[in-house]
Amino acid sequence: MLKKFLALTICSVLVVPLVQANEVNLYSARKEALIKPVLDQFSAQSGIKVNLITGDADALISRIANEGKFSPADMLVTTDVGRLVRAKELGLLQAVQSEEIERQVPTHLRDADQQWIALTIRARPIMYAPERVDVKQLTTMEELTDARFKGRICVRSSSNIYNQSMVSAMIEQLGEENTLNWAKGLVANFARPPKGGDRDQIKAVAAGQCDIAIANTYYLAGMLNSADSQEVEAANKVKVLWPNQGDRGTHINISGAGITRHAPNKANAQALLDFMLSKEAQAWYAEHNGEYPLRSDVEQSDVLKSFGEFKAENIPLDKVGAQNATALKLMDKAGWK
Amino acid sequence: MLTIGPALVLALPVLVVLLSLLQPQWQVWQHLAETVLSDYVKNSLILAFGVGAGTLVLGTCLAWCCHHYEFWGRRPLQWLLLLPLAMPAYIIAYSYTGLLDFAGPLQTALREVFGWGYGDYWFPEIRSLHGAILMLVLVLYPYVFMLAKTAFREQSQSLLEVSRVAGLSPFAHFVKVAVPLARPAILTGTALAMMEALADYGTVQYFGISTFTTGIFRTWFGLGNGLAAAQLSALLCSFVLLLLLLERWSRRKVRYFHLGGQHQVKRVPASGFKALWLWLFCALPVTLGFLLPVCMLIHWAWLTAEGHWNSRFLALAWNSFSLAALAALVILLVALIFAYARRLSASRWVHAPVTLVAMGYAIPGTVIAVGTMVPLVWFDKTLDALMQSWLGISTGLLLSGTVFALILAYAVRFLAVALHQVEAGLERIKPSMDQAGRTLGLSPQGVLTRIHLPLLTPSLLGALLLVFVDVLKELPATLILRPFNFDTLAIRAYEMASDERLADAALPALTILLVGIFPVIILSRAIEKATSMETADA
């Protein structure tokens, strides 16, 4: 009797997921506001329902790891490459093959084993106050350590993943020792101890607290499109400088995604991944969040065009992700708070 | 047994954190010790003690002003002073930064008026350790205020008369008689504020201060070492254990019980200059801790309102409210059971696990969340294996990723708040009252319902209020443990703010306050009523 009752209860619990089989479960480190509209478009087109949990990438990764083979997650979306590399290292992802990926995603922007791919590109250039900085004298990140920039540079904390990835990429290209010296030199030129986010650095440049900041472009784009007139005003006082155009190119990071190893709805996840590479999804990110599309046939927004064309780093991104811990320790040693 | 079982279940997440110590990560620790660990320890201690001192002084003085004096506007101020409770610390930090930062409106205006440039003038830096202490004091002082006010209220009026006869000035009476007698309540409030300060992540992270909590996340996310991060949390736990022991030790020497023979509180009327001074003193924390940041939020919300205000917003508000209310009730019930178990038993087996759970209050929410996930998933997997072999059915994840998981995490995180309140309430009930009740023919249940319940009501309502507001503001555990498609106001506000879209975060933040204010007002009135009834009865 008890067994029957239990079996019945359990069956009724299990029937629910069976009925709603045409769905896909997404764990996203992208905030809801920056993914839901795209997911809604996907659902409208495909009839596949998307269930969403947003959160910090590492928290989501440890949730997938803990849930193991029972994890409902089909797909993990993150806003930087380091987390994707970590998820792969933990054996949480599986390889994906699709024509769309082959066509749209350059090889250095996807995992060597196809376990994750980039969805959009985010650039991290120098931003400066044009009336106080002579840009003819400034063409590389390395020059930021010059004594003439003492007390003139604002950067956010080394706890931030964008800085960690930037330093990781440097370690990969310049070596650990050179990068450590660079970080020490940069810290010596800080206008203030790191605080706030990228927008705060841009605002500090606009207000004159410092002359140079390092920040992701979409923050500046967001400020230019802000409802707050003060933000727009501040953003207009700042210009973008693309460093290292003569050599390795400007540092870029990605937002990306991978399909989980135990994905219960793999086919749907694959369809969603392809959709994220579609023209309309790529255009949405370019338009609404000032990120650079992977596809060349997507028109960049006017704001992005105003920042100008640039040459990007083209080292394989999985190498950047692998250096993350080294980068953080290096920044600790350099005194980068 | 009724206690030990649930206490052990609730202690599991904390144990998961502590057990990490069994696999020491020497390399990481060596690196931390060489570079940043001393900063973590130093800043965390300064923050905790700064917030402790600030809330203690401010909360106690405010409580005394509202208790001892009668002045124009005292009644509304009394509950207005509780409003900062509903303000999440990270939101007040964002608002003040927006207002006071170098690029903010105030400094920009100063520069325009006086023609100053960068470095020409001195202005206090809000994003500093001092700033963080100030922000946290402004939102945490109500803990002390609430508890101290109740404690003062329960002091016999005759004490004041005795002091007067003995030639003590009102101030001397406050310092030498009222405060020492209210010490357990005041210290409980202070300890809660300090634990909250130790667990704070949002504010210190935004202000760029390296503390234990930011260190935990750096180690976990940046170095990718979850074990070492858990070990840092365990070290944080030891701070808290020390704090809890200190608090207990300070209470040990004396047992404080409810004094009989009270009269209605007779407030000393204040007028003229003194009344103005009192009014200003009480209005200042309300203004700084609530009104000013709210004005900033309203300004931002005004700019962005049209884009956000839709029917989904109501769903968010309902999620937040119902979750907080449910969690508060469950946690109160658990706290009540634990508090009675500790009162009735001297056994170490009862005390130790409860103390362990109470430590959860100072562990950052994300760490608690992972600590909760581990035993829950283990349970689900074991059950699944059992079902597979028994019935041939896979049950999958039954508890993980449900509201149950959330409530469990909240219980671990906030039990301390409810427990402290309930225990502070219970401590004021003399055991002789129980005995008298029994002598007069009451059953043990009768003692509970006829004597304890009425006397405890203010403390219970207080516990309900604090936990409700805490859950409403809670972020990291909710973020990681919640079920699919389940959002709360705090999550919405945080997502906007962490994308540095402060203006877009304003509307959800305001709604948190709105949802939080009504219970604060209703419950604080109920507490007021219950206390005054009790005082009148006695």
Three-class SS string for A31-87?
Answer: CHHHCHHHHHHHHHHHCCEEEEEECCHHHHHHHHHHHHHHCCCCEEEECCHHHHHHH
Q: Which residue has the tokens 């016999």?
A: B156
Q: What percentage of chain B carries pLDDT values higher than 90?
A: 20
HSE, side-chain direction, 13 A CA sphere, residue A15: 6
Cβ–Cβ gap A226/B503 under 8 Å: yes
Predicted pLDDT at A302: 85
Number of domains in chain B: 1
| Token duo for residue B218 | 């750096």
Cβ–Cβ gap A13/B398 under 8 Å: yes
Residues A67 and A162 occupy one common structural domain: no
B94 touches chain A (CB under 8 A): no
Predicted pLDDT at B504: 81
Cβ–Cβ gap A204/B304 under 8 Å: no
Predicted pLDDT at A18: 43
Cβ–Cβ gap B400/A67 under 8 Å: yes
Q: Any residues with CB less than 8 A from the CB of B92 and at least 6 apart, and which?
A: B84, B135, B138, B139, B289, B293
Q: Residue B121 pLDDT more than 90?
A: no
Chain B residues whose CB is inside 8 A of the A206 CB are: 103
Chain A nearest-CA distance from B103, in A, is 5
Chain B residues whose CB is inside 8 A of the A193 CB are: 208
- Residue span of the structural domain in which A243 resides: 123-250+317-334
pLDDT mean over B37-42 = 91
Q: Give tens-digit pLDDT for A152-178.
A: 999 999 988 899 999 999 999 999 999
A31 touches chain B (CB under 8 A): yes
Closest to B208 measured CA to CA, from A330, A127, A192: A192
Q: Residue B264 pLDDT more than 70?
A: no
CB neighbour burial string for B245-273, b if at least 16 within 10 angstroms, e if fewer: eebeeebeeeebebeeebeebeeeebeee
Q: CB–CB of A135/A241 below 8 Å?
A: yes
Residue B211 lies in a domain: yes
Three-state DSSP state, B521 = helix
Query: Looking at residue B449, what DSSP letter applies?
Result: I
Cross-strand pairs, A24: A50
Cβ within 8 Å of B, A 226-245: 226-228, 230-231, 234
Cβ within 8 Å of A, B 332-371: 366, 369-370
Residues A235 and A328 occupy one common structural domain: yes
Q: Give tens-digit pLDDT for A58-98.
A: 889 988 988 888 899 999 999 989 899 999 999 999 999 99
Q: Give tens-digit pLDDT for B446-456.
A: 888 888 888 88
Chain A residues whose CB is inside 8 A of the B398 CB are: 13
Predicted pLDDT at A14: 44
Rounded (10°) angle between helices B226-252 and B183-199: 170
Predicted pLDDT at B192: 87
Chain B nearest-CA distance from A138, in A, is 23
Neighbours of B214 (CB within 10 A): 25
Residues A110 and A225 occupy one common structural domain: no
Cβ–Cβ gap A31/B498 under 8 Å: yes
Residues A157 and A279 occupy one common structural domain: no
Interface contacts A/B by beta carbons within 8 Å: 166
Q: CB–CB of A77/A30 below 8 Å?
A: yes
Residue B413 lies in a domain: yes
B298 touches chain A (CB under 8 A): no
Residue B28 lies in a domain: no
Q: Least CA distance to A50: which residue of chain B?
A: B485
Closest to A264 measured CA to CA, from A83, A60, A51: A51
Residues A222 and A111 occupy one common structural domain: no
Q: What is the pTM of this model?
A: 0.85
Q: Least CA distance to B33: which residue of chain A?
A: A332
Cross-strand pairs, A289: none
β-pairing, A75-78 with A252-260?
antiparallel
Which amino acid appears at position B426 of this protein? L
Q: Give tens-digit pLDDT for B274-322.
A: 899 999 999 999 999 999 999 999 988 888 766 656 667 888 889 999 9
Which of A131, A153, A329 would you mutate first to test chain B, the one with the most B CBs within 10 A?
A: A329
| Token duo for residue B480 | 């990681």
| Token duo for residue A179 | 């990068």
Cβ within 8 Å of B, A 164-183: 164
| Measured distance CA(A53)–CA(B482) in Å, rounded | 8
| Measured distance CA(B407)–CA(A328) in Å, rounded | 35
| Token duo for residue B211 | 């503390």
Residues A158 and A245 occupy one common structural domain: yes
Predicted pLDDT at B365: 82
| Token duo for residue B396 | 């999958």
Predicted pLDDT at B278: 93
Neighbours of A9 (CB within 10 A): 11
Cross-strand pairs, A49: A23
Q: CB–CB of B508/B316 below 8 Å?
A: yes
Residues A160 and A243 occupy one common structural domain: yes
Residues A37 and A177 occupy one common structural domain: no
Backbone φ and ψ for B237, nearest 5 degrees, come out as -55, -40
Q: Give tens-digit pLDDT for B437-493.
A: 888 888 888 888 888 888 888 888 888 988 998 899 888 788 878 888 888 888 888
- Residue span of the structural domain in which B252 resides: 4-18+39-302+312-537
Residue A15 lies in a domain: no
Three-state DSSP state, A24 = strand
Residue A308 lies in a domain: no
One-letter-per-residue 3-state SS of A231-294: HHHHHHCCEEECCCCCCCCECEEEEEEEEECCCCCHHHHHHHHHHHCCHHHHHHHHHHHCCEEC
Residue B26 lies in a domain: no
Q: Which residue has the tokens 């995490």?
A: B409
Residue A102 lies in a domain: yes
Q: CB–CB of A212/A149 below 8 Å?
A: yes
- In degrees to the nearest 10, what's the CA dihedral of B18, B20, B21, B22? 120
Ranges of residues in chain A whose predicted pLDDT is under 70: 1-21
Closest to B138 measured CA to CA, from B184, B74, B203: B203
B210 touches chain A (CB under 8 A): yes
Cβ–Cβ gap B208/A193 under 8 Å: yes
In sign, the C-alpha dihedral spanning B494, B498, B499, B503 is: positive
Residues A69 and A110 occupy one common structural domain: yes
Residue B307 lies in a domain: no
Residues A146 and A211 occupy one common structural domain: yes
Predicted pLDDT at B284: 95
- In degrees to the nearest 10, what's the CA dihedral of B92, B94, B100, B103? -170
Output Rg (C-alpha) for chain A, integer angstroms. Answer: 22
Three-state DSSP state, B173 = helix
More confident residue, B281 or B79: B281
- The CATH number for A79's domain is 3.40.190.10
Cβ–Cβ gap B303/A25 under 8 Å: no
In the β-sheet with A239-241, what is the strand arrangement from edge to edge?
A153-154, A212-214, A126-128, A239-241
Residue B25 lies in a domain: no
B97 touches chain A (CB under 8 A): yes
Residues A262 and A327 occupy one common structural domain: no
Number of domains in chain A: 2
Residue B29 lies in a domain: no
Residue A84 lies in a domain: yes
Residue B30 lies in a domain: no
| Token duo for residue B14 | 């904390």
Residues A224 and A168 occupy one common structural domain: yes
Which amino acid appears at position B396 of this protein? G
Closest to A331 measured CA to CA, from A158, A155, A173: A158
B399 touches chain A (CB under 8 A): no
Percentages helix, strand, coil for chain B (3-state, rounded to 5) are 80, 0, 20
Percentages helix, strand, coil for chain A (3-state, rounded to 5) are 50, 15, 35
pLDDT confidence band for B244 (50 / 70 / 90): confident
- The CATH number for B375's domain is 1.10.3720.10
State the greatest distance between any 2 C-alpha atoms of chain B, in Å, as a whole number.
Answer: 82
ipTM for this prediction: 0.79
